[in-house]
Structure 1
């Protein structure tokens, strides 16, 4: 697929800012993109003029407010695209399925497909939570090289007696998530509720997480490894739809 170089480079600059937490200096952008300083200056002038980038008082650059409208619309569309795959997860597990992404240091739920069972769990779409006490949050944190810094900023407040509340303990948990390919929340966010989550990848990068949640006794009765394998297959199908060319 042929691309337009100037567009590719402008997107590289925006992604470099996003990867640095939304703000970066010129040298950091250059290191991330490999672009010459002069090229970055020209791209930033255009992005500044359109409101996609702003310049701070310390001369660093930050993502601009014009991205809010695009981001909000994109989030809604991703939720729509995810619905058939969430319904597949409900059919696989019998439990409510959720889609979540990470925005800054927080997890936000984008979409949900409800379990057909009378007793079922709900995570309100649009709800924002800290990542350490949820299965989706652990999956998303596990792919971030700055996970320790995120945890340092947010803290690890105790939600229940089962919540991991130390950075060291959570980093060990994230190692386990990467090793087994899925995360669990065993009553860490809400007593009596268990969750299992898997990553959604666009290329090699984790862009979202899909989960199932239900009463603890029902989730405990499931074969986690086998269920996670089926969930990863569904998440892989969804990730392929998000990729280039779709």
Structure 2
């Protein structure tokens, strides 16, 4: 194996553990399709150089020193930290059986950074890396509402507010009022604004008193009904608080 190929495989292992901590060597092998001897050698190298650590049950995660360094660096995109959200997301998924996902803003779009699929046969399907316009997305509206005013106004002025359904907000005045309401209640709702029959509720995730992402619950409108908004919003807000706390603990 040449040096470039070895480096790429080592980086692939590191990024996999970054996004999915607590993996065994066998799970790493299966996920990346790397043979056993190469996987053991590269994992050992990463461990020796204190990029990763082995837990008592022979699983691998980022070292505490590296985790602290990442979390203290505000220039690192929040999606690289999204593995910290998984425990709280799984808890919310168990409580509701619906699809749970996190996302962040990238330019004028929302990018999905982590997904816990719902348990129902009929559920909303989300994919990590997928993107969508800010204005009809609960996560997009939630993050935008909690940005500082200058950044928020700049983004609003750049949005096209294209109509996707009859519920999509398409005027700047109405959109500004929607964001004000979100700031007041602390969560946002996608009320079939991007797709008819699908609703979503999101709450902000914070780091150093700045909104960096949001977590959301999504599903068919027959289950995520307006009558249950308070119930679902409370659960989503609690999930967001747990993720925020998890991020802050290692700073």
Normalising by the smaller structure, the TM-score range is 0.5 to 0.7
Could you say which residue in structure 2 is the equivalent of 1:86?
A: 89
Q: What does 1:167-186 correspond to in 2, within 5 Å?
A: 167-186=172-191
1:91 deviates by 1.5
Residues 130 and 137 in structure 1, CA contact (< 8 A), matched pair in contact too: yes
**1-structure distance, mates of 2:238, 2:124:** 23
- Aligned-residue Cα RMSD (Å) equals 1.8
CA-to-partner distance for each residue in 1:187-208, whole Å, 9 max, x for gaps? Answer: 1011110001111112422111
Normalising by structure 2, what TM-score? 0.65
Q: What does 1:54-133 correspond to in 2, within 5 Å?
A: 71=76, 75=79, 77-133=80-136
In the comparison of the two structures, how many residue pairs are matched?
Answer: 175
Residues 96 and 122 in structure 1, CA contact (< 8 A), matched pair in contact too: yes
1:136 deviates by 0.5
User: Taking structure 1 as reference, are residues 154 and 221 closer, same or farther at Cα in structure 2, changes over 3 Å only?
Assistant: closer
- Structure 2: where are the runs of 5+ without partners? 1-74
Residues 148 and 171 in structure 1, CA contact (< 8 A), matched pair in contact too: no
Q: SS state of the match for residue 133, structure 1?
A: coil
1:164 deviates by 0.2
Could you say which residue in structure 2 is the equivalent of 1:216?
A: 221
Stretch moving more, 179-188 or 203-212: 203-212
Q: SS state of the match for residue 135, structure 2?
A: helix
CA-to-partner distance for each residue in 1:1-50, whole Å, 9 max, x for gaps? Answer: xxxxxxxxxxxxxxxxxxxxxxxxxxxxxxxxxxxxxxxxxxxxxxxxxx
Q: Does 1:195 align with 2:200?
A: yes
1:230 deviates by 2.2
- Structure 1: where are the runs of 5+ without partners? 1-69
Residues 201 and 236 in structure 2, CA contact (< 8 A), matched pair in contact too: no
**2-structure distance, mates of 1:244, 1:155:** 39
Q: SS state of the match for residue 158, structure 1?
A: coil
Runs of 4+ with deviation above 3 angstroms: none
**1-structure distance, mates of 2:136, 2:199:** 11
1:129 deviates by 1.6
